[in-house]
A and B are shown apart, each in its own frame.
Chain A
Amino acid sequence: MSKPIPTERSESVFSDFKHEYAPHQAAVEANRCLYCSDAPCTKACPTHIDVPEFIRKIATENVKGSARTIFDANILGMSCARVCPVEVLCVGDCVYNAMGVPPIQIGKLQRYATDQAYEKGWRFFEAGKPTGKSVGLIGAGPASLAAAHELRRMGHACTIYEKREVIGGLNTTGVAPYKMRADRSVDEAEWVLAIGGIDVKTGVEIGKSHAFEELEKKHDAVFVGVGLGPDTRLGVPGEELPGIHGAVELIERMKLGKLPLQGVKHALVIGGGNTAIDGVRELMVLGVPNVTLVYRGQEPKMPGYRHEWSAAREAGVSALFQAVPVAFEGSGKVERARCVRMDENKKPIAGSEFNVAAELVLMAIGQSTLGEQLASLGHRDQKGSGRHRRTRCHRAQGLVRRRRLSQRWQRSRERRGRRQGRGAGHSLALGRQKCLI
């Protein structure tokens, strides 16, 4: 089971960015929902929660039924309600947008129903009749938790292998604390595990303490829910100076313990994605006086969500666009970043170098990807593993999703993937996004 997380944590100073609904507020919003058929919001939800149905149940004060509808499709509906970028998923596709009417606040309604389930201790699902089959799941993050829960409903035995001592994966270690704090994620993981019959082995790193092949022998199927790997580095001089951290690594420290930020007057977060945006917002709240996001491209081309960036802007962060650090300098620890200006094509402009003060630097330029991760599991060579991992994954998924959902899901994922310019095969790497088992 999970090691208890400390009560004194840096993230404890954060309060929820979006306030929760009182019953009468939920009722007003729920009653606005049109109860669309073949609803676009459900289609946009990666787990295909029947949104109109769960909202209608809130409107009729059948909140328990509402929570059941949500959890039936997505056992992590509580954390999804807090962390999903609804603006680009369900809410973004609500038909009201097309009418110029504010879309339904689906995330808040989902939170309303699922929070009540937690508060009142409602449980909905039981383990299925034992099938005699067993599945090993690597990683105790959202993907494996959700997969294991589904597998248990079907009666398969499950063992989760987690390298950390805490469970919940990125939900525990990486979610911005103004969306959800670590204790809530651990509670959720335990609520999910309470279906029973899921053996969680923490402190076990597949590929290190145990070989992948061992799992394959032991189980009828293996589910790889490892998420992404360590932060990527720029590879510039001075990057090893104290005070320079991977963003994901530093966020984890803030969520699970205390971050020493004394003497930090200027913090730089390098990158333009959502992790970078989380990073700047978090450092602001933690009291760093000057927080600057440094992105090599132009502002409109930042890959991070627009709504998240606006919120960061409102919180008072600064930004340096079309700039990139070429070196870090300081005696004994980082004191400044040497940056260069970039042109529209993200090419350095000669002679444009300048210094920026920085006692803390976060690298939020990406994480190592699935291929590297699988390789680190001691898995087969890249080429072979490509095909192998997909069949494996699908085998696990075949057990996980009921067919109807699985097909719908697959279709919409592919469409979504195409829209975002990547192939369907990418889905496996998205273990880090909890919805995508």
Chain B
Amino acid sequence: MPDLTTNCAGIRSPNPFWLASAPPANSGGQVQRAFDAGWGGAVWKTLGQPIQNVSSRFGAINYSGTRAIGFNNIELITDRSLEVNFREIYETKKKFPKHAVVVSLMVETQEEWKDIIKRSIDAGADGLELNFGCPHGMCERGMGSAVGQEPLVNERITSWAVEYSTVPVLVKLTPNVSDVLPHGLAAQKGGAHGVSLINTIKSIIAVDIDRFVPEPRVGSLSTNGGYCGAAVKPIALHMLARLTRSGEFKIPVSGIGGITNWRDAVEFMLLGASSVQVCTEVMLKGYRIVEDMIEGLDEYMASHGFDTLDQLVGKAVPAFSEWGDLDLNYETIAKIDAKKCIGCQLCVVACHDGAHQCIHQSKETNGDATRVPVIDESECVGCNLCKIVCPVPDCISMVPVDNGFAPATWNQHVTEGLPLRPKKGAH
């Protein structure tokens, strides 16, 4: 049986699945129910000076009949008093001593940081998370992403927190930067034990085309909010790998952003996350999704021969490289399994309109054409588009071909003059 015990920057939990700091981790009652359902940890909804929220606050993107593939919000930090929050944290920790309770914080002055950190630790926090990420409302008041976007401010506040804290400190980074690395390094320099990423992405989720107002609508106005949910996973994965691949960045990462199931979680871990946090999918489906997450991860680890999480964390990082190091002579072509093909011709249109015009409808013979398309292999550039559009699993596969050329990257080509194979589809 694989061991799912987690240690992320010194914060321990029975499994790597944590609730992200957000509505599902807003109160003691909720967090305790989540732990009962199986969640290993929770990052409490950000504490600070309680705020007043707007109504409504959430928006979503539906795509082709699937609801809320992307989500956004314009809510702020906790609107409940600090006393109530700390009392509930204390009760939760007492009932669940082995689970991770991380307290997310966002205040302005050094004094406030000192005070709130002390009270969090007194309440039993296993760790702290500094919210340097919120991209709406709080940043206008000089907090949240306003801090996360300024490496020097980030580093300074982090160093205060580390000084006042007796438990591990995570810095939650904002994705609203052109390159996340300097910000991760700033947190590291400030002494953070780890970082969490990503917080939400600055966004306008939609526009009400009848009322002429963006969403979510507050009366007759709206504002930019934070984008999250399934659709942001690719951005989060990249930012995660950008840090974990860098030789300079050495502290652990708690991965967040678009995680909806165990597969997503495994992907984050393979790119170096030692725990994962979930917000939107819990908001949409409830705490119960964790059952499948645990089971799926367990089964994945068993089937791949991993006994502990360390064995898989970061395993795909070495395979994330620069474009200039990719082998330009590696060549694949698309092959259709005629037995599986249902004849929809989606690959034909896709290749004709969106790729290299090398999949053709088979010619009619005696009025009865087979609907299995024909690939002109001499023209196929191996782009993958047809495989992506084909509705039948494993019907199209990308097959490597031996073109007789030794591997050669762009960098090698430029520096050592290694020969490149002739181009295809470039006429």
Least CB distance from A218 to B in Å reads 40
CB pair A31–B345 under 8 Å, yes or no, is no
A45 within 8 A of B: no
How far apart sit A98 and B66, CA to CA, in the bound complex (Å)?
24
A 10-43 binary contact with B (CB < 8 Å = 1; else 0): 0000000000000000011011101111111000
Shortest CB–CB separation between residue A60 and chain B, in angstroms? Answer: 9
Complex CA–CA separation, A36 to B65 (angstroms) = 18
The answer to whether B391 and A34 have CB atoms under 8 Å apart is yes
Assuming the A-B contacts A34-B391, A38-B361, are A59 and B64 also in contact, with contact meaning beta carbons closer than 8 angstroms in the complex? yes
Query: CB-CB < 8 A to B346: which residues of A?
Result: 34-37
User: Are the CB atoms of B64 and A98 closer together than 8 Å?
Assistant: no
Known: A99-B391, A415-B367. A37 touches B65 (CB 8 A): no
User: Quick check: is B342 within 8 A (CB to CB) of the other chain?
Assistant: yes
Minimal beta-carbon separation of A423 from chain B (angstroms):
14
Q: Any chain B CB within 8 A of the CB of A145?
A: no
Interface string of B59-78 (1 = CB under 8 A from A): 00000111000000000000
Do A31 and B65 form a contact, CB below 8 Å, given A40-B371, A99-B392, A415-B367? yes
Residues of B343-370 at the interface with A, using a CB-CB cut-off of 8 Å, are 343-346, 348-349, 361, 367-368
Chain A residues in 8 Å Cβ range of B368:
415
B371: chain A residues within 8 A (beta carbon): 40
Q: Interface size for chain B: under 10, 10 to 19, 20 to 34, or 35 or more residues?
A: 10 to 19
Are B367 and A36 neighbours in the complex by a CB distance under 8 Å? no
Give the most central of A32, A39, A40, A95: most B CB within 10 Å.
A95
Bound Cα distance from A34 to B64, whole angstroms: 11
The CA-CA distance from A96 to B392 in the complex, in Å, is 10
Partner of B342, one of A27, A30, A98: A98
Shortest B351–chain A CB gap in Å is 11
A414 → chain B, closest Cβ, in Å?
A: 8
Q: How many residues of A contact B (CB 8 A)?
A: 20
Nearest Cβ in chain B — how far from A23, in angstroms?
Answer: 12
Q: Please determine whether B361 and A31 come into contact, CB atoms closer than 8 angstroms.
A: no
B352 to chain A: closest residue by CB: A37
What are the residues of chain A within 8 A of B343 when measuring CB–CB?
40, 95, 98
Residue numbers in A under 8 Å from B361 (CB-CB): 38
Q: Closest chain A residue to B350 by CB distance?
A: A37
CB distance from B389 to the nearest CB of A (A): 9
One of A28, A32, A37 near B344 (C-beta < 8 A): A37
Q: CA A40 – CA B372 in complex, angstroms? A: 13
Minimal Cβ-Cβ distance residue in B for A97? B342
User: A411–B64 Cα gap in the complex (Å)?
Assistant: 35
Contact A31-B344, Cβ < 8 Å, known A99-B391, A99-B392, A415-B367: no
Whether A95 lies near B342 (C-beta < 8 A) is yes
Are A28 and B349 also in contact (CB < 8 A) when A34-B344, A40-B343, A95-B343 are? no
Residue contact A95 to B344, C-beta cutoff 8 Å? yes
Q: For the complex, what is the distance from the CA of A40 to the CA of B343, rounded to whole Å?
A: 8
Q: Which residues of B contact A28 (CB under 8 A)?
A: 65
Q: Is A27 within 8 A of B392, CB to CB?
A: no
Cα–Cα, bound, A36→B347 (Å): 9
Q: How far apart are the CA atoms of A409 and B320 in the complex, in Å?
A: 54
Most chain-A Cβ atoms within 10 A of its Cβ — which of B65, B348, B371, B392? B65
Residue among B342, B349, B391 with the most chain A CB within 10 A? Answer: B342
* Chain A interfacial positions (CB closer than 8 Å to B): 27-28, 30-32, 34-40, 59, 95-96, 98-99, 411, 415, 418
For the A-B complex with A31-B64, A40-B343 known, give 18 more contacts whose Cβ atoms are closer than 8 Å: A28-B65, A30-B65, A32-B65, A34-B344, A34-B346, A34-B391, A36-B344, A36-B345, A36-B346, A40-B371, A59-B64, A59-B65, A95-B342, A96-B342, A98-B342, A99-B342, A99-B391, A418-B367
> What would be 15 A-B contacts, judged by CB atoms less than 8 Å apart?
A31-B65, A32-B65, A34-B344, A35-B346, A36-B344, A37-B345, A38-B345, A38-B361, A39-B344, A39-B345, A59-B64, A95-B344, A96-B342, A99-B342, A415-B368
The 10 A-B residue pairs whose C-beta atoms are closest, nearest first, are A31-B65, A37-B345, A98-B342, A37-B349, A36-B344, A95-B342, A95-B344, A31-B64, A38-B345, A99-B342
